[in-house]
Amino acid sequence: MRILDRSVYVGPSLYARFPVIRLELELGELEAWPTGRLGGGFIEALAAALPGLAEHGCSYREPGGFFRRMREGEGTWLGHVLEHVAIELQNIAGEAVTFGKTRSAGPAGVYTVVYEYAQRDEGIAAGELGLKLLSSLLPEAIRPKDSVPEGWSWPEARDQFIRFAQRRALGPSTMSLVRAAEARGIPWLRLNDQSLVQLGHGKFQQRIQATVTGRTPHISVELASDKEETNKILAGLGLPVPKQELVQSDTAAVRAARRMGFPVVTKPYNGNHGRGISIRLTSDEQVAHGFNVAREHSRSVIVETFLEGDDHRLLVVNGELVAATRRTPGHVLGDAEHTVEELIEIVNQDPRRGVGHEKVLTRLELDAQALAMLERAQLTPQSVPAQGQMVYLRSTANLSTGGTATDVTDVIHPDNREMAERAVRAIGLDVGGVDFLSKNITESYRRIGGGICEVNAAPGFRMHVAPSEGTARDVAAPVIDMLFPPAAPSRVPIAAITGTNGKTTTARMLAHIAKMAGYTPGLTTTDGVYIDGQRTVPGDMTGPVSARMVLADPQIDLAVLETARGGLLRAGMGVNEVDVGAVINVQPDHLGLKGIDTLEQLAEVKRIVVEVATDCAVLNADDALVMKMSGYTEAKHICYVTMNPQHALVREHIRAGARACALEAGVNGQMITLYDRGGHIPLLWTHLIPATLEGRATHNVQNAMFAAAIAFSLGMKLDAIRQGLRTFDSTFFQAPGRMNVFNEHPFKVLFDYGHNAHAVGVMADLAQRLDVQGRRIVVLAGPGDRRDEDLIAIARAAAGRFDHYICRRDDGLRERAADEVPRIQAAALREAGVAATAISVIPDEQQAIDAALHMGQPGDLLLVFADQLTRSWKQITKFKPAGAAARLQSHEARTAPPHTRGEDGPFVAGVGADGGGGAHEAAPSALGLEGLIRDERGVRFAPEADD
């Protein structure tokens, strides 16, 4: 039993609309051992290891359903069991995850196991630990070899996992704020592995780190950390504080204690969480020891008078007290029967107690601090306390060390409430916790005394949201209301665009329209992340990482997310929902990769974008697979886009008052027209959009229609949409590799990134529609990771439409031979009726483009399909065309051997018949390719020029 593959989905995916982990699990010989055959011993052992599994309902949807499934008939297989174990492991670590599903992956004994996770590392570790647990419970005869390390202990591994998970999970305070934000519909992003969280998107964002907010003044945090200065400020305002002295040595601490009078308290100058504090010190020796304990946490130590009373935490948010809690240090209560050590074990059996922040209460520990407290009380772990005797194991009342909390918000005296609010305002904190000692919180400090020990920045919320006794208080909601007052925006409009072809151009058009409309757009595309039109990160940025990158940028107020198939399959979407989701088309591309073998499967992947759309799904009504997606969206509106004004379904859709974008014929040409709520809105003539080449580039007409429909659905004004489309062109700098035109040579060059049959066919159609006086020449290629049938389809899409074909390959061979791709496509062209004399095989991209440029004559059209866009565009723009055609003809006549022409095949340059160099290799000087070098395969190539 082993994990063959693992994928971590950060957002909506094929499997769920929330984060899940997918395992491909191979059972091997254990396929023959379902739980029914393993027997009751295995099931009982599993129940003992993870008692919480008894609550799993499985398909029966009631407690006990999972174990019932394991016992009935053959039972279930171990892949399904692992799913439930991985979920339950996260549950015992404090995560509220419930979703899982397991299905056969096809081959016998291989299963797809999917389960929800709360945070990535914990989810992965849960799957791995679950596998070890199941293996350890199997009969030794069938246990997979080396599946369980020697000496492995389940209880120890379980506790280590819980601590591992808690180190990576958001703390209870941060999590309470996140949950409060979710309740308000405010999105959030975790920005690091600790507690730094962004609430909201783009320019509306606010940040928190634990309970410190982006609005908390730095000087106030520094002041709260300086206990001596805090004490002075509060004393200066007449607030009750103990006497204090700051010391740097144990002798100075003793002298200060004598001046103040015993008992005293010693604590670190800038400590927190109760670390290093010693209380009720009554002798010089105790003070000296307390100084040394505090010195472990701070260079300077504070000695202060000891105040009698219970420890209270008073929480103030935005100037108002929102909760008050009485805290009691970790302790046990004697029963005149059990030892202290036994009493600790009894207390820890409370199901509310767990490891760290796993549960409401933390387990008591018999550690060095506890032993010191026992010694001070003249007790040992084996002592038997008297009936009702309270034995303290900690000097401070922090919940993280086993303390308990009792809510007293409803009974706090108004004077004490006002005192806390004044103290926090005096320090300048927006969120502050006052540690206040009082014998009775229901009586005024003015009458019975008491004092403020500290004012805390970043106060913990756990004691308030989950007290041991009393009413739980929603203290996080006031913080969220402070950061995001009612009606304040927290989200930016988000549009996600997918499709086989056209998504990059459409996304760029939409971002341009948004800028014309006054927005500061963030854009993710195949060539980078753009903020307000400036590329900030280069590379293919169409996955979830780039989406979060844009939404985290504090400048943007609108996000345009090009969303590619690869990112969806690899890690899901980067956002849980979008305002507008658009699917332009579904065409054959990338089939046979990552388990996607059919167009229907590809459509299911791309459908995710409209499944998460909340306001509008924009769908291509001319693509049957896309049109069917309307049945899978919960968006308020569906906007169909059609280039067929006679489309029957769209006509009915419009008559029903719904939204659409159609192409309509008029006296002056073709008009992009919007329909909404019965309104007919003529938008723009297609020939006025530069990117459409006066309406001839019909694929860009469609892209413009999608951009217009999305912009309209996002609420942009019609004039801004018109202005955006009229000023967006297809230059390399605005849309690199998307139908770029270069007119500075005697011939025209069309430059495109098309890499599938549909895209190549669209560009070939455009080449036919353009007015060309001379020849049409194409540089053709296909990615090496595509199936042979896809490469052949690309060649067939171009066949018969050009006068000369140059077949090349990409730089990345994708495990193919150096000339394999161009030879496959050349053979496909010949089979489609293209004369062998009209085909050249020049595998290297730079050589192929250079050969095409040299062929160019006045009036010709060169269509170049490129892979390395920047390099290839520079090659085209810097080319000097003088005498190019004559040089290529001379080269062909001089260097091409008989078997590379005529019936036996096309002209070949750069690669010999055996894939390496040869006697008939193209002479670089004849093509103007001086300076080429030969790589280890014998293929000539030119080093890239400096950028």
| The residue type at 418 | E
- Asked if 89 contacts 129 with a C-beta cutoff of 8 angstroms, the reply is yes
Residue at token pair 């008894």: 54
Angstrom distance (rounded) from CA 657 to CA 247: 79
| Tokens matching residue 220 | 């106030």
| The residue type at 43 | I
In the DSSP assignment, the letter for residue 735 is S
**What pLDDT does 272 receive?**
67
Compute the mean pLDDT over every residue in the chain, rounded to the nearest whole number. Answer: 88
Angle at 422 between CA 418 and CA 428, to 5 degrees: 150
pLDDT in tens, 481-528: 999 999 999 999 999 999 988 899 999 999 999 999 999 999 999 889
**What pLDDT does 277 receive?**
86
Within 13 Å and on the Cβ side, how many CA atoms surround 174? 23
- Asked if 186 contacts 199 with a C-beta cutoff of 8 angstroms, the reply is yes
Angstrom distance (rounded) from CA 645 to CA 475: 57
**What pLDDT does 896 receive?**
47
pLDDT band at 328 (very low <50, low <70, confident <90, very high): confident
- For 574-589, the DSSP string reads SSS-EEEEEE----S-
**What pLDDT does 356 receive?**
62
Angstrom distance (rounded) from CA 341 to CA 391: 11
- Asked if 488 contacts 205 with a C-beta cutoff of 8 angstroms, the reply is no
Answer with the residue of higher pLDDT: 563 or 924: 563
- Asked if 302 contacts 246 with a C-beta cutoff of 8 angstroms, the reply is yes
For 13-26, what is the mean pLDDT?
A: 95
Answer with the residue of higher pLDDT: 745 or 365: 745
Angstrom distance (rounded) from CA 279 to CA 266: 7
pLDDT band at 279 (very low <50, low <70, confident <90, very high): confident
- pLDDT higher than threshold 60 for residue 907: no
In the DSSP assignment, the letter for residue 596 is B
Within 13 Å and on the Cβ side, how many CA atoms surround 25? 28
**What pLDDT does 418 receive?**
97
Alpha helices in 776-831 (DSSP H): 788-798, 820-831
Q: Distance from first CA to last CA of the chain, Å, rounded?
A: 51
pTM here is 0.79
**What pLDDT does 10 receive?**
95
pLDDT band at 928 (very low <50, low <70, confident <90, very high): very low
Whether omega before 898 lies within 30 degrees of 0, making that bond cis, reads no
Angle at 597 between CA 593 and CA 598, to 5 degrees: 140
Angstrom distance (rounded) from CA 542 to CA 574: 10
As a 3-state breakdown, the chain gives helix, strand, coil percent values, each rounded to 5, of 40, 20, 40
Using a pLDDT cut of 90, give the percent of the chain over it: 68
**What pLDDT does 936 receive?**
32
Angstrom distance (rounded) from CA 369 to CA 540: 55
| The residue type at 470 | G
| The residue type at 130 | G
pLDDT in tens, 71-88: 998 899 999 999 999 999
Angstrom distance (rounded) from CA 637 to CA 657: 11
Nearest Cα to Cα of residue 906 among 845, 838, 812, 848 = 838
- Asked if 754 contacts 865 with a C-beta cutoff of 8 angstroms, the reply is yes
pLDDT band at 733 (very low <50, low <70, confident <90, very high): confident
- Asked if 836 contacts 901 with a C-beta cutoff of 8 angstroms, the reply is yes
All residues at 6 or more sequence positions from 831 whose CB lies less than 8 Å from its CB, including other chains: none
Angstrom distance (rounded) from CA 816 to CA 127: 36
**What pLDDT does 400 receive?**
67
- Asked if 24 contacts 3 with a C-beta cutoff of 8 angstroms, the reply is yes
CA distances for 633 relative to 189, 510, 578, 629, 651, angstroms: 25, 22, 12, 7, 20
Region of residue 506 (phi > 0: left; psi between -120 and 50: alpha; otherwise: beta): alpha
**What pLDDT does 883 receive?**
54
CA distances for 331 relative to 97, 139, 310, 398, 462, angstroms: 33, 43, 14, 12, 19
Q: How many residues does the chain have?
A: 947
**What pLDDT does 544 receive?**
92
All residues at 6 or more sequence positions from 641 whose CB lies less than 8 Å from its CB, including other chains: 618, 619, 620, 621, 622, 660, 661, 662, 702, 705, 706, 709
- pLDDT higher than threshold 70 for residue 475: yes
Nearest Cα to Cα of residue 608 among 658, 563, 650, 649 = 563
Inter-residue long-range contacts of 251-254, CB under 8 Å, 24+ positions, other chains counted: 251/288, 253/287, 253/288, 253/290, 253/291, 253/301, 253/303, 254/284, 254/287, 254/288
**What pLDDT does 590 receive?**
66
**What pLDDT does 829 receive?**
95
**Judging by DSSP bridges, how do beta strands 861-865 and 748-752 pair with one another?**
parallel
Among 150-164, 728-742, 916-930, name the one with the lowest average pLDDT. Answer: 916-930
For 226-242, what is the mean pLDDT?
A: 93
In the DSSP assignment, the letter for residue 466 is S
CA distances for 189 relative to 95, 206, 296, 323, 485, angstroms: 18, 11, 36, 27, 20
Strands (E), 211-352: 212-213, 244-247, 264-268, 278-281, 301-305, 310-317, 320-328, 331-333
In Å, how far from its chain's centre is CA 473?
31
At 844 the three-state DSSP class reads: coil
- For 740-766, the DSSP string reads EEE-SSSSEEEEE---SHHHHHHHHHH
- Asked if 706 contacts 840 with a C-beta cutoff of 8 angstroms, the reply is no
Q: Considering just the CA atoms, what is the radius of gyration of the chain in Å?
A: 36
| The residue type at 427 | I
Strand order in the sheet with 310-317: 404-407, 320-328, 310-317, 431-438, 451-457
**What pLDDT does 947 receive?**
31
- Asked if 633 contacts 617 with a C-beta cutoff of 8 angstroms, the reply is yes
| The residue type at 354 | G
Alpha helices in 634-753 (DSSP H): 648-655, 698-713, 718-727
For 201-217, what is the mean pLDDT?
A: 96
Angstrom distance (rounded) from CA 439 to CA 215: 35
**What pLDDT does 888 receive?**
46
pLDDT in tens, 374-414: 888 888 989 998 998 888 888 777 766 777 899 999 999 99
- Asked if 863 contacts 764 with a C-beta cutoff of 8 angstroms, the reply is yes
Alpha helices in 377-495 (DSSP H): 414-427, 445-448, 462-465, 476-483
